[in-house]
Chain A
């Protein structure tokens, strides 16, 4: 049997800890008393909304110096956007990023996500100081207008026909109706024969010069089976590489017209040429009668 024996006296160590604890308690009280008259003095500058745009900038500067805000990833981006030479692609990217302004945003191009809070303040101040400058307003509308009319089909597509285009821009799709087939000197006939056993083939389009073609099925399961069974196999002495096509014109049937899917797939392919090879012989007229 073991007795646990608790001595009534505290050990030296315990005493020390006790006094430390008391001290800390006292300090905490003092601190609380100190805080009470002006609550949370540290946080105020960040929350206070300066009335003037200049104030906002000043505050921002101060915050930057004190290190409360990190030095913004913006500058590096800035040099790119304001430099004289920009690539066309960049320009397009930039314009596409600010294509959909949600309100009057004169500084939207320099919009860094980190500073959105004060940016917002600055903006508000600006809009207030510059009450409706009508002409500018209109001009801006004029400048964006042609662009808007150009972009509207794409924006439209993105809103209503999103399944068609979005996979193109983002990541590889994981399911789809269309498979990509690669094989040296393959033809439409070969693909037709090789793939019709997996399901109803809605459309085949060839890019002969690139030795590849696209086969669209009416069901995604057919496409999946075609990939798993045909990839790496030999057809008519040609080794095929089969994978899901990167562009997936997904057509969700909205009616029961049976040609719908066919026409949609053709319309979704940008190039409508090259899919058919004219097999006629060249006709020459050598004799010059009359």
Chain B
């Protein structure tokens, strides 16, 4: 309706004037939509569509050449699953119009060079793959493709550059080979063998120290967890023994063989990989996650391709690409995953579950939010209720069975996912089957997993519900009732030191006193640290802190809101009595005592205290490693608090870095602004930048322009923050080293095996710190190496650091 109205009235007058322009735009849009949609499900065959589209494009070539070039060169990168469709289309165009083929090749090469220069590694890899596929369609000559491969091999063999860079060049080649292997095998077998030999040499000499840090399980039974490059290498080798025949890629160009084989081929120009610079970031390595093999799938159904069959790789890659494309919409993602083109030839549910878990467990961090995988799995269950929930239940069983060797980071993600999933399935699970965990040690991963899941379920529901959801025998693993523990109200609480003042303070607080009045009351408390001589003033008054913190938090324990209100109103009291780190640790101890039965509340209060700067990050780190927290040391929530602390610090630093960078850029832009006229483009850019700035903050335009002084002050602030950050990392790692070395030495003297569950958990947490914050820790890698992770350290502890270093080397 609205459209018609617009057509009739409003737009009527403009139509004539715009006709010429709009017609052209319309045709361009049409062409674009045709190109984008080719290969989508249609009523007619793909071949006839391709043929038709090729003749349409051919007819419009003169008028819209640049547009067609641009779209055609982007499509295979944006829609990598349609790579062969676009190569066929370009092949048909090339057969009709040799010049266009040439220009297209040039465009592709330009794109590749740019992607390499800009560090868009995934795009670059897809371009290489597409260029390889163009050989199949007689657009590019095989010999010139081999030239490109040779230059990539050279880049991989380059000395003195990080391995991650060399790995990428290798990976780009290996993943292109399934597409073009057969063609090269038929035409240039010797050259192909030469390249394979070079690759083999590279892979044999490669350093794989990082693998241990990236594995989900530290054990290779039942399924080997292989490093990605080694895995694709094995798959490509297997492909070679099959004479380069694969059964997954759909190749529409085979139908046009007679047309394409007559086309003239182009030669690729020489492409030299841009040299390595210190600032270039390369993709991190990963380990291929394997959870299922064919024995896990139903016997009646299709067979799961083996680990080293190239089909497994191709299907997985396609599924990952679907995730990439639709990760923002869980429903669409679930639909698209289940609509996988060859869904009847593979056990699709199993492959989807494996791919989604591999993303969720990806080290160092998942590509997307953890929760997005959880809700995608729920959507999949809803869409496919007869199979998906069963596969997922089976996967859960498998993960639980293999949890003994799972790393701590993935353990946490598994706990979060499973409790979230349960909360969407009425907290139903066959708990009876897991009863064996009850007879295990408290720190055994299985027992730990179940109790952590209960803890997380508590956050997603409530105490009574969690108690009802499991059989009674599980009560030892169930969390305690999440209530504040106020010792002054327990039996014998009246006799505790400061009990009378607690009562007085409670009464005072009910009258809504000012912070000064409160301070006056608690400062009357005697300081137990004070010696009788009284010559040294102690740094803080533990009794005053105890009385104040416990009373205030107890009164505000009803809700987060109450607590936050208390923290806000008496912020100045906190600041006065908890000036230094020792006082802050003392205060955190009091918070813990009150909230020991409610980890979630404890975490939220600590977070709030960090935010309002009542405590500093270093104090939190020291508190976590203190003796008082030893009994809680292997519980997840402790590490949740440590990570939120580190994250807070990192965010602060990153923000300051950005501010300084922005200010510096503005400062640099300013002089060229006033210098007027001898450098035209520069001046224009400066002016434009200033204009956008002034648009944003018009009123204080003058203030916005940073002065040299301001930038210097900002830099000082940044430096201070960076040294805080460095200090925090040093504290955390030093404490880890101390506590672990102590354990190893103690076990040594006692003649016991040091490799206990406690030890495994602690090393796992150390690894987690490295992994979760690798981008920030990386900056201090040098310092850590010289100060903490020195050669005399126990090799077990040192290994964790070495693995971390190997991640980018």
Residues of the B chain whose Cβ atoms lie less than 8 Å from the Cβ of A160: 384, 386-387
Residue of B nearest to A261 (CB): B390
Fill in one digit per residue for A160-199: 1 if any B CB lies within 8 Å of its CB, else 0: 1101100000000000000000000000000000000000
Does B16 lie at the interface of the complex (its beta carbon under 8 Å from any beta carbon of A)?
Answer: no
B interface size (C-beta, 8 A): 65
Is the Cβ of A161 less than 8 Å from the Cβ of B384?
Answer: yes
Instruction: Assess whether A267 is in contact with B388, with CB atoms less than 8 Å apart.
Output: yes
Q: Mark B551-578, 1 if CB is under 8 A from A, else 0.
A: 0000110110010011011100000000
Interface: B314 (CB within 8 A) = no
- Asked whether, in the complex, the Cβ of A140 is within 8 Å of the Cβ of B42, the reply is yes
Q: Which residue of B lies closest to A263 (CB)?
A: B389
- Does A142 belong to the interface (CB within 8 Å)? yes
B771 in contact (CB, < 8 A): no
Task: Note all chain A residues with C-beta closer than 8 A to B301.
Answer: 254
Contacting residue for A290 out of B43, B334, B565, CB 8 A: B565
- Are A264's CB and B34's CB within 8 A? no
Q: Quick check: A266 and B555 within 8 Å, CB to CB? A: no
Q: A138-B49, A153-B338 are in contact. Are A251 and B386 (CB under 8 A)?
A: yes
Check if B388 sits within 8 Å of A255, measured CB to CB: no
Q: Can you name the residue of chain B whose Cβ is closest to the Cβ of A161?
A: B386
With A251-B390, A257-B396: A263-B381 Cβ-Cβ less than 8 Å: yes
Q: Which residues, 2 to 44 on B, are CB-close (under 8 Å) to A?
A: 30, 33-34, 37-38, 40-44
Shortest Cβ distance from B299 into A: residue:
A254
Per the 8 Å Cβ criterion, residues 333-349 of B in contact with A are: 334-336, 338-339, 343
B629 on interface, CB distance cutoff 8 Å:
no
Residue numbers in B under 8 Å from A148 (CB-CB): 41
CA distance A249 to B562 in the complex (A): 47
A111 in the interface, Cβ–Cβ < 8 Å? no
Does chain B have a CB within 8 A of A149? yes
Q: How far is the CA of A279 from the CA of B467 in the complex (A)?
A: 13
Known: A257-B393, A262-B430, A289-B556. A138 touches B388 (CB 8 A): no
Q: Is the interface of B mostly helix, strand, loop or mixed?
A: helix
B397 at the interface (CB under 8 A from A): yes
Per-position contact with B for A234-265: 1 when CB-CB < 8 Å, else 0? 00000000000000011111110111111110
A161 touching B387 by the CB < 8 A rule? yes
Binds B, one of A32-40, A98-106, A220-228: A98-106
Contact of A259 among B396, B555, B562 (CB under 8 A): B396
Query: A81 on the interface (CB 8 Å rule)?
Result: no
Question: A162–B558 Cα gap in the complex (Å)?
Answer: 51
Query: Does A268 belong to the interface (CB within 8 Å)?
Result: yes
* A259 and B430 contact, Cβ closer than 8 Å, known pairs A140-B42, A153-B335, A285-B559: yes
Q: Tell whether A80 is near chain B: CB-to-CB under 8 Å.
A: no
Binds B, one of A3-11, A43-51, A113-121, A129-137: A129-137
Provide the bound-state CA to CA distance between A251 and B555, in Å.
53
Q: State whether A134 touches B49 (Cβ < 8 A).
A: yes
A276 at the interface (CB under 8 A from B): yes
Q: Which residue of A lies closest to B331 (CB)?
A: A153
Given A161-B387, A289-B565, does the pair A141, B339 have CB atoms closer than 8 Å?
A: no
Annotate B380-420 by CB proximity to A: 1 below 8 A, 0 otherwise: 01111111111111101100000000000000000000000
Residues from chain B with a CB closer than 8 A to the CB of A153 are 334-335, 338-339, 383
The reply on A17 being an interface residue by CB < 8 A is no
A82 within 8 A of B: no
Tell me if A66 counts as interface (CB < 8 A to partner B): no
B424 at interface, CB cutoff 8 A: yes
A138 touches B385 (CB 8 A): no
A135 touches B425 (CB 8 A): no
A231 contacts B by Cβ under 8 Å: no
Q: How many cross-chain pairs have Cβ atoms below 8 Å apart between A and B?
A: 170
A142 touching B383 by the CB < 8 A rule?
A: no
Given contacts A249-B385, A260-B393, contact A156 B510 (CB under 8 A): no
Task: Determine whether A27 belongs to the interface, using a CB cutoff of 8 Å to chain B.
Answer: no
Q: Give the residue among B387, B394, B396 with the most A Cβ atoms within 10 A.
A: B387
A152 at the interface (CB under 8 A from B): yes
Is A161 within 8 A of B42, CB to CB?
A: no
B782 to chain A, nearest CB (A): 48
User: Nearest-CB distance from A253 to chain B (Å)?
Assistant: 7
Across the interface, do A255 and B296 meet the contact criterion of CB distance under 8 Å?
yes
**A132 near B52: Cβ-Cβ < 8 Å:** yes
Assuming the A-B contacts A275-B426, A280-B464, are A163 and B386 also in contact, with contact meaning beta carbons closer than 8 angstroms in the complex? yes
Contact B391 A141 (CB under 8 A): no
Shortest Cβ gap from B389 to chain A (Å): 3
State the Cβ distance, A282 to closest chain B Cβ, in Å: 13
Which residues on the A side are within 8 Å of B386 (C-beta)? Answer: 157, 160-161, 163-164, 249-252, 264, 268
Contact A266–B41 (Cβ < 8 Å): no
Say whether B565 contacts A152, CB under 8 Å.
no
Nearest-Cβ distance from residue A217 to partner chain B, whole angstroms: 15
Q: A161-B386, A254-B390, A290-B566 are in contact. Are A104 and B43 (CB under 8 A)?
A: yes
Interface residues of B in 412-470 (CB under 8 A from A): 424-426, 428-430, 432-433, 462, 464
Q: How far is the CA of A105 from the CA of B42 in the complex (A)?
A: 12
Q: Is B714 an interface residue (CB 8 A)?
A: no
B56 at the interface (CB under 8 A from A): yes
| Minimum CB–CB distance for A120 against chain B, Å | 16
Contact flag A260-B41 (CB < 8 Å), given A137-B49, A285-B558: no
Tell me whether A263 and B44 are in contact (CB under 8 A). Answer: no
CA A12 – CA B361 in complex, angstroms?
106
Find chain B residues with CB under 8 A from A275 CB. 426
CB pair B424 A272 closer than 8 Å: yes
Cβ of A123 under 8 Å from chain B? no
Indicate if the CB atoms of A141 and B43 lie closer than 8 Å: yes
In the complex, whether B644 has a CB less than 8 A from a CB of chain A is no
B356 CB, min distance to chain A CBs, angstroms? 16
Other-chain contact of B566, A142, A203, A289 (Cβ < 8 Å): A289
Is A52 close to B, CB under 8 A?
no
In the assembled complex, which residues on chain A have CB atoms less than 8 Å from the CB atom of B56?
134-135
User: Given the known A-B contacts A280-B462, A290-B569, are A268 and B385 also in contact in the complex, defined by CB atoms under 8 Å?
Assistant: yes
A270: nearest residue on chain B (CB-CB)?
Answer: B382
In the assembled complex, the Cα of A290 lies from the Cα of B592 at a distance in Å of: 22
Contact B389 A267 (CB under 8 A): yes
Q: Contacts A134-B53, A142-B37, A145-B41 known; A203 to B428 CB distance under 8 Å?
A: yes
Determine whether the beta carbon of B37 is less than 8 Å from that of A290.
no
Q: Identify which of B49, B339, B393 contacts A156 (C-beta below 8 A).
A: B339
CB-defined contacts of A157 to chain B, threshold 8 Å? 383-384, 386
Q: Which B residues from 303 to 344 make CB contacts under 8 A with A? A: 332, 334-336, 338-339, 343
B512 interfacial by beta-carbon distance below 8 Å? yes
Chain A residues whose CB sits within 8 angstroms of the CB of B41 once the complex forms: 141, 144-145, 148
User: Is B692 in contact with chain A by the CB < 8 A criterion?
Assistant: no
25 A-B interface contacts by CB (under 8 A): A134-B56, A137-B43, A137-B44, A137-B49, A138-B38, A141-B41, A144-B43, A145-B40, A148-B41, A149-B336, A152-B338, A156-B343, A250-B386, A260-B393, A262-B429, A262-B430, A263-B390, A264-B389, A264-B390, A267-B382, A272-B426, A276-B426, A279-B464, A289-B555, A290-B569
Q: Which 10 A-B residue pairs are closest in the complex by CB-CB distance?
A: A263-B389, A134-B52, A268-B385, A141-B42, A260-B390, A161-B386, A258-B430, A267-B385, A257-B393, A267-B381
A residues at B contact (CB < 8 Å): 101, 103-105, 132, 134-135, 137-138, 140-142, 144-145, 148-149, 152-153, 156-157, 160-161, 163-164, 203, 249-255, 257-264, 266-268, 272, 275-276, 279-280, 285, 289-290
**20 further contact pairs, Cβ within 8 A, besides A251-B386, A258-B430, A260-B389:** A138-B34, A138-B37, A138-B49, A140-B43, A141-B37, A141-B42, A152-B338, A157-B384, A160-B384, A160-B386, A164-B385, A254-B301, A254-B391, A255-B394, A259-B393, A261-B390, A272-B425, A275-B426, A289-B566, A290-B569
